[in-house]
Amino acid sequence: MTDPAIDDRRFRERFEEFNRIGATDAGGVNRPSLSDANREARDTLLEWFREAGLEVRIDEMGNLFGRREGRESGADPVLVGSHVDSQYNGGRYDGVVGVLAALEVLEAFADAGLETDRPVEVVSWSNEEGVRFQPDMLGSGVYAGRFDLEYAHGRTDDEGRTFGEELERIGYRGETPCEADGLHSYFELHVEQGPILEDRGVPIGVVEGVFGFSWLDVTVEGQADHAGPTPMDDRADAFVATADVATAVRRLTATGGDDLVGTVGSVDVQPNAINVIPERVEFTVDVRSYDNATVADAVERVRREVSAAADREGVRAEVTEIMRVEADAFDDGCIETIAAAAEEAGHEYVRLKSGAGHDANYLNEIAPTGMIFVPSVDGVSHRESEYTEWEDVVAGADVLCRAVRRAASHQS
């Protein structure tokens, strides 16, 4: 038996081939959850899982698993993965790096003739991004018991199609119950999606924990009217109230807590006509912090700002919280396993927190969990120009390989 090693050529070819699926002209990808491109991506993954000799299963949420047995086949497995659904016109690295690296790790184990004590499973979670179907991390959330299956299958996209129908349509509504049935640990490799590793000139991030966040949906009901004859003091303009809230969100992040961030990312204006006073606006607010009390306080302040803006403009407004994820520290054991793996590999690393949500947020509620980051060039993500140097991707996969080997072989 030799030491398992990442096969750079195989890994790179798969990454490039995979990202031809749903490729955009600007060099990104468009593979939103349960789209035809997402189906093609799933088909490709299953083909590669089978070629690698993994035992494949699909659960009721369309989460895809590939299992490699260990000496102790009844032992709780080590789970390794991420997601392949993308933002609309998103980046080529977000999620995909983690799933393809997990597959590459199992291939490296097989090439080396390594038999682990525990089984190891690669997973590709459904609906991590939450852009087509909210909330995000839906597949891992049902698996971890955070959402029930009926709620998840009932979530609808902007055209009113349900998650369950679309999962059926693309042929990925599996039979396996979507629930955890014993896990030793979970590891996820992901691009940082922020500037820290690049600023520090370090290739590996050992992630200590993830920010908590809240997603709010706000509807504002005003009064459509003619943009010309309607006197300014006789208007109920739904967009003016919305704009007030958006600037208030920016203001409160300046005073609400050191690491507090806030975004108004999605705005739908009706009737969206140049000469009609906006009658109805539906928009979203995303607030995050590593401190749960800061998130809770920010949510209350946004609610107050919505109410004050509605009063000022004489419109009606309603705030619905779509989801709240608690900030949480990852498992010390997993963190030290990853740090030891990075040292063994000779890669410099820093410890940091994740401002982005990941499936690991929910896995961390049910099993010891750890994450590895690799740098995002210019800290860019959720954009077609998202980029990570390939040598950093390989370094991350190398650390993942060593960490999973330790976890699967009673070395952790």
Write out the residues near Mn ion by the rule CB under 5 A: 94-95
356 contributes a contact to ligand HGY by CB under 6 A: yes
Q: Which is nearer to ligand HGY, 128 or 305 (CB)?
A: 128
Strand duo 349-354 + 204-210: pairing: parallel
**Quick one: what does residue 130 bind among Mn ion, ligand HGY, none, with the CB cut-off 5 to 8 Å set by partner type?**
ligand HGY
128 contributes a contact to ligand HGY by CB under 6 A: yes
Q: State which of residues 32, 81, 130, 164 lies at the interface with ligand HGY (CB under 6 A).
A: 130
d(C-alpha 93, C-alpha 278), whole Å: 38
| Residue whose Cβ sits closest to ligand HGY | 357
Site for ligand HGY in 370-399 (CB under 6 A): none
- Please, what is the minimum distance in Å from the beta carbon of residue 84 to Mn ion? 10
- Please, what is the minimum distance in Å from the beta carbon of residue 123 to ligand HGY? 16
Q: Which is nearer to ligand HGY, 87 or 412 (CB)?
A: 87
CA distances, 317 to each of 66, 118, 215, 361 (Å): 47, 53, 16, 31
Q: Which residue has the tokens 């690296």?
A: 101
d(C-alpha 85, C-alpha 190), whole Å: 14
59 contributes a contact to ligand HGY by CB under 6 A: no
Closest Cα to residue 242, out of 328, 327, 313, 333?
Answer: 313
- CA–centroid distance for 39 within its chain: 18
- Please, what is the minimum distance in Å from the beta carbon of residue 357 to ligand HGY? 4
**Quick one: what does residue 357 bind among ligand HGY, Mn ion, none, with the CB cut-off 5 to 8 Å set by partner type?**
ligand HGY
Q: Which is nearer to ligand HGY, 193 or 412 (CB)?
A: 193
313 contributes a contact to ligand HGY by CB under 6 A: no
Instruction: Sort 196 into a burial class: Cβ within 10 Å, 0-12 / 13-18 / 19+.
Output: middle
129 contributes a contact to ligand HGY by CB under 6 A: yes
Q: What angle do CA 375, 326, 381 make, to 5 degrees?
A: 25
Strand duo 316-325 + 212-221: pairing: antiparallel
DSSP assigned state of 325: E
Determine the interface stretch with ligand HGY among 127-135, 151-159, 169-177, 329-337 (rule: CB under 6 A): 127-135
**Quick one: what does residue 95 bind among ligand HGY, Mn ion, none, with the CB cut-off 5 to 8 Å set by partner type?**
Mn ion
Decide if 53 contacts 118 (C-beta within 8 A). Answer: no
The residues binding ligand HGY (CB under 6 A) are 128-130, 136, 356-357
